Structure 1
Amino acid sequence: MSSKISLQKVQLIDFPKVKDSTGILHFLERADLLPEGIKRAFWISEVSEQSNRGKHAHLRESQVLVAVSGIVEVWAHQAGQKAVKFSLDRPNLGVFIPALTWVETKFSKGAILLGFSNQEFSESDYIRNLDEFEKYQ
């Protein structure tokens, strides 16, 4: 595969917040993470407890993932590297997942995962086979 692929770093994000007597507003305003803007938002709910999801990577799509309720454990790794675990257990934490990063998730009971993407959905952007993904070094 091409060695010209520029990978960004998988990283934990502590979202800014505004707190007042009525609650806390968290927001995403990081153009450096998704410079093309947010082209798709998605959320995943009603996943049976301890079920795994994800198990794929994207060729071009980058995402920011946030557990707005419950706990979502995210394992992320780039080809040839060890997986790093992130525990999204507060709504002010998110994780940036750049393109060409394999992701697997595990949900606690009642967890809801919100995702922001820099791409519209395209099945051709998915890598769903781990062995194939590992060739992208």
Structure 2
Amino acid sequence: MNNCFVELKDISDERGSLVVIENLKEIPFEVKRVYYLYNLRDDKARGFHAHKILNQAFLCLNGSCKVLLDDGENQTIYEMNAPNQMLLCKNKIWHKMFDFSDNCIFLVLADQEYHEDDYIRNYQDFLGTVKDEKND
């Protein structure tokens, strides 16, 4: 799985819109955990970590925000402002979410259950982990 920005198929008519995400189809993994962020402040960023194993998909269901993905060498900022946009974030990618609109609802789909020992919360440790992998 690579990090990528995906526009999901939006099925719309006069009744409204529908977006479908199925395991191993639109999303390249089986979802084992779902959580969302809301009541977010535009001056308070979230994230600031990477995962050793866990892969994620990010969706901004309402409002807008920005997501920074950092592989240790390159940083890319994605603007998420439509509920049919999905950003895939593979493991060992430092991520930060920020610049939230007042009404932002940010959904995360993950391929693992929560395990604190999967988190890399220190940026220098993250850079060391990425560097060690490249040397293997």
> Is TM (by shorter chain) over 0.5?
yes
CA–CA separation in structure 2 for the residues paired with 1:51 and 1:109:
12
Q: Structure 1, residues 47-68: CA drift from partner, whole Å, max 9, x if none?
A: 1123200000000000000001
Aligned twin of 1:34: 28
Q: From 93, 103, 106, give the equivalent of 1:101.
A: 93
CA–CA separation in structure 1 for the residues paired with 2:16 and 2:35:
24
Contact 2:23 2:31 in 1 (8 A): no
CA–CA separation in structure 2 for the residues paired with 1:51 and 1:13:
26
Structure 1 unmatched ranges of 5 or more: 1-7
| More off after superposition, 58-67 vs 48-57 | 48-57
CA–CA separation in structure 2 for the residues paired with 1:120 and 1:30:
15
TM score, norm. by length of structure 1: 0.88
1:22 aligns with 2:15: yes
Structure 2 unmatched ranges of 5 or more: 132-136
The structure carrying a bigger helix percent of its residues is 2
Number of residue pairs the alignment of both structures matches: 128
1:106-125 matched pairs, under 5 angstroms: 106=98, 107-125=100-118
Q: Which amino acid aligns with 2:13?
A: D
CA–CA separation in structure 1 for the residues paired with 2:114 and 2:90:
15
CA–CA separation in structure 2 for the residues paired with 1:51 and 1:27:
30
The CA deviation at 1:34 is 3.3
Contact 2:57 2:109 in 1 (8 A): yes
TM score, norm. by length of structure 2: 0.88
Aligned twin of 1:9: 2
The CA deviation at 1:30 is 5.8
Aligned twin of 1:82: 74
Identity %: 23
Aligned twin of 1:4: none
Q: Which amino acid aligns with 1:120?
A: E
Q: From 38, 51, 58, give the equivalent of 1:45.
A: 38
Report the 3-state secondary structure (helix = DSSP H, G, I; strand = E; otherwise coil) of the residue aligned with 1:134: helix
Q: Which amino acid aligns with 1:53?
A: R
